[in-house]
Structure 1
Amino acid sequence: MIASMTGFGRARKETNAFFVHAELKSVNHRFCEINIRLPRQLLFLEDKIKKVIVEHVKRGRVEVFLTIEGGGLVSKTISIDWDLLDTLVTSTRKIQEKYQLTDQITTGQLLSNENILSIEEKEMENHELESTVLEVIESAALQLRQMREVEGKKLIEDIFLFLGQIEENVHIIKEYAPKVVTHYRDRIEKRIKEYVGNEFDENRILTEVALFAEKADISEELTRLESHISQFRETVKTNEPIGRKLDFIVQEMNRETNTIGSKANDPLIAKHVVEMKSLLEKIKEQVQNIE
């Protein structure tokens, strides 16, 4: 199934202890890049989350937003520096005695000193939370994939429409191309007759026409262009990421089209070349969004 690189997926799950909500958003990117915004206590899950996502996304930039609510995520402990506290109290009393100060130091003042009292947080290992997070990520990634496939189907429909129009132009050029040499010979004879009448060297004309025919021969380019179109259609049938390969094929099609335009030296062919280049530009824009 052809997939676009743009999409969105969302999933959530609530248990007795947790509420987990995940959102995945993907956009175009040359490779597969996954950026995850996790609560600090869940950073250990980053690699596992990426592993789940890459099962559904092979190319594109994916932004992952994860929200978790509930207790039991961390354990908190209080740490007191008793030696520092003893020193502070003793020093305070000495200062009061020496300077005859009557104000009293309070417990709150002592505990507000961050050098004396600190609260330490430690991530708690919670297998239920881990399995819940990965389950929600899996659901969101699946929804993202489904949306990308729907978009991919629309892209291919548009691309095949443009590709069919290119094939029509190639067929017209292929049918018309042999006439280009004939038209050239007629123009040469007409000009020569205008200058010298009916007395002219026929061999000289044949030589000029032969040189022109060789220079303006676009049969190879047309054959390669048809081959690229066929290769494009076959590539779409493969069950793997094809965006970069299709982009390369379009570049080759554009190269052959440009060569046809420069070699043919004919206004009718030039008109069809311009139309094909316009269609190829549209295909290129669509292909750059394919996984």
Structure 2
Amino acid sequence: MIKSMTGYGVGSQENAKVKYTVEIKSLNSKFLELSIRLPKVVSDKELTLRGECSKLIERGKVNVMISSEYTDQTAKASSINAELLKKYYKQLKDIATEVGENSSTLFSLALNMPEVISNNDDEVDDEEGKVLMNAFYSAVEKFNTFRADEGNNLKEDLEKRVGFILTYLTEVEAVEGDRIPLIRERLSQYMEDAVGKENIDKNRFEQEIVFYIDKLDITEEKVRLRSHCNYFIKALNSEDSNGKKLGFISQEMGREINTLGSKANNAEIQQIVVRMKEELEKIKEQLLNVL
């Protein structure tokens, strides 16, 4: 079963305090190119999210966007340490009295002293962290479902393209029957015209013909190409199917098609080979988007 590298999924999760929404988009890439945008409040979760993306998404140019919405806006508001503020203010006031300075700005100064104001955005509790991760896993599930659906469409197209190549191979076999006799006849006529029929050494000529025709034989290429096509279909339908493996098989298919065309020495077969190459190029283009 293959999956597309193109995917999209959105998941959300909430509790009484906060709602997290995770959106995942991806395009094709040879490796995992991951971009994560998340609120500062959950920045400590980035490494965890990256690790999960590596396991669950594998490859692709992936954008993960996370947003938060607090049900109670005061839940993320800053808090003031009143006891510490009082302590700072008293110390500052005592010092101002001692040195005879104006104490009118001391409250503002005390308010800005270290740890008087704490921002709740700096950390989240475990419960809020679970809400985020559940939203993430929900988005990944929908994202992978999208990828699987796209993969089914790719699979159907790839099977069709390989089917075309096998059909063209059958056409090559239908044309090939007359190829060798025509080559033999053409060479015989060429020799007769060049040196005269009575001057041809028949035994030597037959040896050369056998040697030459053996180099033009395309039986092995046909067998290997059919084998590669069947293996491609088998790999396409296997549980561990992936774009890299299918890409390697398509390269082998290309080698056999190229050799078949170069050895054919027949205009009609070469025209069929051109159509094979067109289908193979379409297969390779589609494989760029297979996970």
TM-score category, normalised to shorter length: 0.7 to 0.9
* Residue 135 to residue 115, structure 1, CA distance change in 2 (3 Å): closer
- Partner secondary structure for residue 35 of structure 1: strand
- Distance (whole Å) between structure 1 residues aligned to residue 274 and residue 240 of structure 2: 33
Counterpart residue number, 1:213: 213
Contact persistence 1:56–1:141 (CA under 8 A): yes
Letter in 1 for 2:281: E
8 A Cα contact 1:6 1:26, kept in partner = yes
Shift of 1:117: 8.7
Query: How far apart, in 1, do the equivalents of 2:170 and 2:14 lie?
Result: 60
CA distance, structure 2, for counterparts of residue 214 and residue 166 of structure 1: 25
Q: Which amino acid aligns with 1:128?
A: E
Superposed displacement of residue 105, structure 1: 6.2
Matched with 2:171 is 172
Superposed CA deviations along residues 98-119 of structure 1, whole A, max 9, x for unmatched, are xxxxx9964587479x688974
Per the normalisation by structure 2, the TM-score is 0.82
CA distance in 2, matches of 1:273, 1:24: 42
Displacement of 1:132 in angstroms is 1.5
Paired with 1:74 and 1:282, the residues of 2 have a C-alpha distance of: 56
Alignment of 1:3-152 (within 5 A): 3-50=3-50, 52-53=52-53, 56-70=56-70, 71=73, 72-73=75-76, 76-77=79-80, 86=92, 106=105, 110=109, 119-121=117-119, 123-152=122-151
Rounded to whole Å, the distance in 1 between the matches of 2:178 and 2:186 is 12
In the TM superposition, residue 5 of structure 1 has moved relative to its aligned partner by 0.5
SS at match of 1:19: strand
- 1:249 maps to a residue whose letter is I
- 1:285 has 2:285 as partner: yes
Using the alignment, how far apart are the partners of 2:92 and 2:152 within structure 1? 73
CA distance in 1, matches of 2:205, 2:237: 50
Q: Tell me: CA distance 1:219–1:132, structure 2 relative to 1, closer, same or farther (3 Å).
A: same
1:223 deviation in Å? 1.6
Counterpart of 1:192 in structure 2 is: 191
Give the secondary-structure state (helix, strand or coil) at the position aligned to 1:199.
Answer: helix
Distance 1:116 1:13, change over 3 A: closer
- Tell me, yes or no, if the aligned pair for 2:23 and 2:66 is still in contact at 8 Å: yes
Report how many aligned residue pairs link the two structures: 282
Deviation at 1:86, TM superposition (A): 4.7
Percent of aligned pairs with the same amino acid = 31
Change in Cα spacing, 1:240 to 1:54, as seen in structure 2 (3 Å) is: farther
The answer on 1:269 being equivalent to 2:269 is yes
* Counterpart Cα distance in 1 of 2:170 and 2:20: 58
Deviation at 1:273, TM superposition (A): 1.4
| Aligned residue type for 1:288 | L
> Which has more helix, going by share of residues?
2
Please give the per-residue CA displacement for 1:240-275, whole angstroms capped at 9, x wherever unaligned. 251110011111111121121222222122111111
> How many angstroms apart in 2 are the aligned matches of 1:149 and 1:49?
22
Judge conservation of contact 2:34–2:61 (CA < 8 Å) in 1: yes
CA RMSD of aligned residues (A): 3.3
> 1:243–1:287: 8 Å Cα contact kept in structure 2?
yes
Alpha-carbon separation, structure 1, partners of 2:77 and 2:124: 9
Spell out, residue by residue over 1:3-62, the C-alpha distance to the aligned partner (whole angstroms, 9 max, x if none): 100011012234321121110001112234443222222123234434554564233232
> 1:185-214 CA distances to partner (integer Å, 9 max, x unpaired)?
111122233345542422343233212212
